[in-house]
Amino acid sequence: MINSGKSGRLKKAIGSIWPTFCIVFGLFSITSLARAASEEAKPAENPPGVLEARFNETRKVFESGRTNFDAACQFARAAFEWGDVVIDRDRAAVAEPGIDAARTAVALKPARAEGHYYLGLNLGQLARTKSLGALRIVKEMEQEFKKSIEIDPQFDFSGAYRSLGMLYAEAPGWPASIGNRAKGRDTLQKAVDLHPEFPDNQISLAEACLKAGSRRQLETKLPGMQKQIEAARKLFTGSEWSASWIDWDKRWQEVKQAIQHSD
């Protein structure tokens, strides 16, 4: 199974449809949707040149046959990661072939979670380049994450639950879009229930609780979350996790400061 390790990494984006939905899809950013960090190398260990090379290499393998499911998933993942760091005007040119690869993976093995998950992530990158057109894309993202959950809710440390929860938490609400902060909080709780050991699940839930105004609920969870995060330092070790811990520690401090300042 191929883990992308994005936290879904979905958090710079969707604040409002008028500014282009850019804000949700930083949700899908490698430092913020790994936010989901995976077992594979992280952005800090992957400078842009490495990510671009991986994009080109996996694209060649994928396009040599287009019938290899793993090759399609590897390229879709590489496209998502490269699309996260390219300049804005080039992002669609990277996201579109990533979407094509993910759709190919879905067509080859519709009963596997990976293709649906990577399709949702790459659609997020494309949505960052759109304005009103992002509304349709966001709806498809929701559908693909739900399908991935239906097939394998465990994949990528509950990555589809994490990404979907952040999408609900960050997107504009009705009637503009699908955003619903309470729904985002509840969806992220499911990611925590399945993989409480993964720091990004705990921290993303805490952030969603703050956004939903569930401060008291968060206060009761905070000691348990702190214990899980400290225990995770023994599980997610080594240089491949260093970039993720920089991100997690920063966000966790911000959560705790928000609670203190609200007293």
Q: 50-73 pLDDT, tens per residue?
A: 889 999 999 999 999 899 999 999
Contact 7, 162 (CB under 8 A): yes
Half-sphere exposure for 201 (CA within 13 Å, toward CB): 27
Model's pTM, two decimal places? 0.83
pLDDT digits (tens, 9 = 90+) for 214-227: 888 899 999 999 99
State the Cα–Cα distance between residues 166 and 187, nearest whole angstrom: 8
Domain ranges of the chain: 22-261
Asked: is 22-261 a CATH 3.40.50.150 domain? The reply is no
At 53 the pLDDT is 93
Q: What are residue 243's phi and psi, to 5 degrees?
A: -65, -40
Per-residue pLDDT of 152-196, as tens digits, reads 999 999 999 999 999 999 888 877 788 889 999 999 999 999 999
